[in-house]
Homo-oligomer: A and B are copies of this chain.
Amino acid sequence: MLIPVIIWGDNMKLDDRKLKVLQAVIHSYITSAEPIGSRTVSKKYNLGVSSATIRNEMSDLEDLGFLLQPYTSAGRIPSDKAYRLYVDNLMKSSEIVLKKRKDIKKDLLTEINEVDKVLQNAAKILSKVTNYTSLAIAPQVKQSKLKRIELIPIDDFRVLVVIVNESDVVKNTMLRVEENLSENQLTRISKYLNQKLKGKPIESLYKEVESGLIKEMYNYKRTIESLIPLVNQSLDNIKKETIYSEGVTNIFNFPEYNNISKAKSFISFIENKSSLLDILLNDGFDDIQIKIGKENCYDEIKECSLITATYRVNGKTIGKIGVIGPTRMEYSKVISTVKSIAMDLGDIITDNFTK
């Protein structure tokens, strides 16, 4: 999708040749990480003009904010603005080869016991395929309603509480009880609770205990009461999003992270899940989202690009998966890969974890 003439903000036109030069610089820089000069452009990319002409074009492109010079008399490198233009208009979206896509889907299907494992596995694959650092955020549950609760005796003083919420996320908690309850008694309590609480937001639980429960189930009042905070806590835990990151050390492969302090700040940032969570949760839920360099809020990744895609289960967006790496990123390859894995991931979760 190559638009021959792009009218930019000011009255300077980006004509076809400028775009070609820009594209050449971007392409070269993405692959080599070295500033590129006019002579090299004219030699490597057959634009049919001499290096001097390209020099003039590059000078213009610098004035327009698309190119940067790391220092005088060095070659030029693309700016964030250039990458943005590239991603929005210039990039030919590379279709991920069908066979490869099938292979990836097969890999994704290796661990499908638990939804968390699937996700972590997806992150691993994504990082391996792209050679960048990958991120994934687990399905999040908007509002927690109880679907089912089950009490299972473990020994005389402990009861396993299994809680299933409306999105079929399961949570276990061990509960210590003071009274020794028989299996039958526990079954009765379970049944009662299920009947009363199914589909209700968890807050109802308090009221129930206060009112009807006392008559009907007086004997178990204490147990049920001790259950409430537990169920509450468990539901909260379910709501708590978890983030997976894989391939952090890939960052070492990029020359721009060849100095300790940058590498440290990047890795620390990825290790510190809370800021990641912030980014992934608050930056919108478009199908595919591309944040380039300074478009990112956190200083630590202002020289990175973050590409995320949402995945959907039964048509509902429930999580995100993505890739983070230097702004000099193989956008077309990464974008198509992230998209494809996000789709597969959604399919797999839909198929295996919902009816």
Contact B164 A160 (CB under 8 A): yes
Asked if A152 is at the interface of the complex by the 8 Å CB criterion, the answer is: yes
CB distance from A191 to the nearest CB of B (A): 9
A193-228, CB < 8 A from B: none
Asked if A309 is at the interface of the complex by the 8 Å CB criterion, the answer is: no
Report how far A211 CA is from B113 CA in the complex, Å: 29
Interface size in chain A (residues, C-beta < 8 A): 38
Contact B264 A173 (CB under 8 A): no
A257-298, CB < 8 A from B: 258-260, 263-264, 267-268, 271
Q: Please, what's the 1-or-0 string for A99-137, where 1 marks a CB less than 8 Å from any CB in chain B?
A: 000000000000001100000000000000000000000
Q: Please, what's the 1-or-0 string for A329-355, where 1 marks a CB less than 8 Å from any CB in chain B?
A: 000000000000000000000001101
Contact A249 B267 (CB under 8 A): yes
Contact A248 B260 (CB under 8 A): no
Report how far A249 CA is from B300 CA in the complex, Å: 15
Asked if A168 is at the interface of the complex by the 8 Å CB criterion, the answer is: yes
Contact A248 B263 (CB under 8 A): no
CB distance from A243 to the nearest CB of B (A): 14
7 residue pairs, one from A and one from B, having the closest CB atoms: A252-B264, A170-B172, A249-B268, A150-B152, A155-B355, A249-B267, A162-B162
Asked if A154 is at the interface of the complex by the 8 Å CB criterion, the answer is: yes
Asked if A157 is at the interface of the complex by the 8 Å CB criterion, the answer is: yes
Contact B160 A162 (CB under 8 A): yes
Contact A113 B148 (CB under 8 A): no
Once A152-B150, A264-B249, A355-B156 are accepted as A-B contacts, the answer to whether A168 and B174 lie under 8 Å apart by CB is yes
Asked if A302 is at the interface of the complex by the 8 Å CB criterion, the answer is: no
Q: Please, what's the 1-or-0 string for A224-265, where 1 marks a CB less than 8 Å from any CB in chain B?
A: 000000000110010000000000110010000011100110
A134-177, CB < 8 A from B: 147-148, 150, 152-158, 160, 162, 164, 168, 170, 172-174
Given the complex, which residues of B lie within 8 Å of A259, measured CB to CB?
Answer: 260
Instruction: Identify the closest chain B residue to A117 (Cβ).
Output: B237
Given the complex, which residues of B lie within 8 Å of A148, measured CB to CB?
Answer: 152-154
A-B contact list, 29 entries, CB within 8 Å: A113-B173, A113-B233, A113-B234, A114-B172, A148-B153, A150-B162, A154-B164, A156-B355, A157-B355, A158-B168, A158-B355, A160-B162, A160-B164, A162-B172, A168-B174, A170-B172, A170-B174, A172-B172, A174-B352, A174-B353, A248-B271, A249-B267, A249-B271, A252-B264, A258-B260, A260-B260, A260-B263, A263-B263, A267-B267
